Amino acid sequence: MKLLILILLIAALMLESSVTTLSLIIPIIVVATVLLKDSVVFLLAFVFGILLDILTFKMVGLSSLFLTFLVFLILMYERKFEIKTPSFIIFSTFFSSFIFLLIFQRGNIIVQSILSTLIGFILFEALRRVSFQKHKDD
Amino acid sequence: MQKRKNWIYIFVFFLILSFLIFLLFRLSIFRPVSSFVQSVFSPAQTLIYSVTLGFGLDQKIKDLENKNIVLQNKILEQEKLIADNKALRDQFAVSNPTSRSLIEANVISSPSFIPGITVAESLIVNKGQKDGVNVGMSVVYKDNIVGVVKEASEYTSKITLITNSSFSVISETFETKAQGVIKGQGAGEMILDNVVLSQSLKQGDLVLTKGEGDLKTLVMPNLVIGKILSVNKNPSDLFQVAKVKSLLDFSHLSTVFIVKGF
C-alpha cells in the first residue's frame, strides 16, 4: 500500500508540475493519512511539498508546511471521530484543496476543488478495496 | 494517548523543518539544490508536457494556426517595408534594423486547469541563468511576444505570459498608432487600456509593443502582441478599451525564444 501511494504521489507530482493546476497531491495525502494512519505520511507530505514548490517555482517550504499541517489536523481529528468514511474524505479534500488553491492560485478554485474531491473519493474507494482484498487474501 | 503524543512530536519536527527550509531557501546558497532538483525532473516534465501537447488539438489545426501567424507577420513586414520605402523616399534616411540575440528554449511545463484546453498563466522553460537568461527578458515566438521571464534558476526559468493578470506593457496599434497599455486579464484574455478617446482604435488592427526598458523588464519594440477583437468606446469615459487576442496559442507552444538584448 505504501509503495502504491508513493508511485501515485510521484505521478501526481509530475502531472502537477508540468500540465495541470489541479491539486492532485492533496487528495493522495488525505487518503494516505486516513488509510495508513502512519507517521510516514508526514515524511511524504514534507518531501513532496518541497519538490512541488521547487518544480513549480513557488516559495520553497510553503506547500510542505501546508501538507504537514493537513496531515496533523486529520490525525488529530481521528481521535474524536471516525475518519475512514467517504464523507470525511469528501469534506477534508474539498476544504484542503480549496484553501491550498486560494493561497497559491487565482482562477477556477471551486471547480478545481470539486475535481480534487472527486479524485480523492475515487482513490479512497479504490485503495480501500485493494486493502480489503489484500486482507481477505491473507 | 501515546500515539497522539508521538504525532505531535513528529508534526512539530516537520513543521520546524519546513519552516527552516522556507527560510534557508531564501538564501542564494541553497539555489544549487533547487537547480539540481529541477534538472533531474525536467526531462520527465518535458516528456509529459510533449505527450499532452499531442492531445486536444488536431495536427491540421496546428499547421493552419502556424501558417496564419506566418502570414500575419508577412503582411506586417510588407506594410513595414512600404512605410520604410516611403520614409526613405521622403527623407533619404535609413533606419537601422534592430539586432537580436535569441536563446532557444523548450517549454517543459505549462500547468493549466484543463491541459490543452484552458490557457496557462505561465510557462517553465529548460533554459536558465547558465544560458544567459535573466529576470525581465522578453520571450518571443515568430515575432510575437509570449511574455517576460519572471524567475530564473540555473537551468530553468519561469515565464509570465502576456495574458497573465499581473502582466502589463506599453503598446501601440499598427495602423492607427494609438498608444495604450496592454493588460493581461487571465484565462487567455487581455485588453488594450488607457487609450485616450481622441485616438482611433480599429477592429482587426494589430497591437505591437512600444518597447520599454527599466531595471526589471526589457521588452523590445515592434513585437506583435495580438489583434483587436472589439472596441469599447464610451464618450463619458476617460479612456477607451479594446479586447485583444494573441495570434499565438499559448497552450500548444513547445519552443520559445528568449531575447538576450536588442
* Residue at A59 is within a domain: yes
Task: Tell me whether residue A118 is exposed, middle or buried, using C-beta atoms within 10 angstroms of its C-beta: 0 to 12, 13 to 18, 19 or more.
Answer: middle
Give the cell for residue B258: 528568449
- Is residue B108 within 8 Å of B224, Cβ to Cβ? no
Per-residue pLDDT of chain B (262 residues; tens, 9 = 90+): 445 557 888 888 888 988 888 888 877 777 788 888 888 888 888 888 777 766 555 666 777 777 777 787 777 777 767 766 665 555 444 343 344 578 888 888 877 766 656 677 888 888 888 888 888 888 888 788 888 898 888 888 889 888 888 888 888 888 888 888 888 887 778 988 888 888 888 888 888 888 765 545 677 788 888 889 888 888 888 888 889 988 887 877 778 888 876 5
Distance of residue A132 Cα from the nearest chain B Cα, in angstroms = 24
Give dist(CA A129, CA A122) in Å, integer. Answer: 11
Q: What are phi and psi of B79, to 5 degrees?
A: -65, -35
Condensed to tens digits (0 to 9), the pLDDT of residues A37-50 reads 888 899 999 999 99
A to B CB pairs, distance under 8 Å: 119
- Looking at residue B97, its pLDDT comes to 35
Give the number of other Cβ atoms within 10 Å of residue A41's Cβ.
Answer: 27
The parent domain of residue A42 ranges over: 2-133
Distance of residue B25 Cα from the nearest chain A Cα, in angstroms = 6
* Nearest residue on chain A to B16, alpha-carbon basis: A65
Instruction: Answer yes or no: do A14 and B7 touch at CB < 8 A.
Output: no
pTM of the model: 0.74
* Residue at A138 is within a domain: no
Of B7, B14, B115, the CB nearest to A75: B7
Q: How many domains are contained in chain A?
A: 1
> If you write DSSP's letter for every residue of B120-150 in order, what string do you get?
PSEEEES--GGGT--TTBEEEETTEEEEEEE
Distance of residue B32 Cα from the nearest chain A Cα, in angstroms = 11
Assembly ipTM: 0.82
Non-local (6+) Cβ contacts of B244 within 8 A are B182, B190, B191, B192, B207, B225, B226, B227, B228, B229
What distance, in Å, lies between the first and last C-alpha atoms of chain B?
Answer: 67
Interface membership of B163 toward A (CB under 8 Å): no
- Looking at residue B53, its pLDDT comes to 67
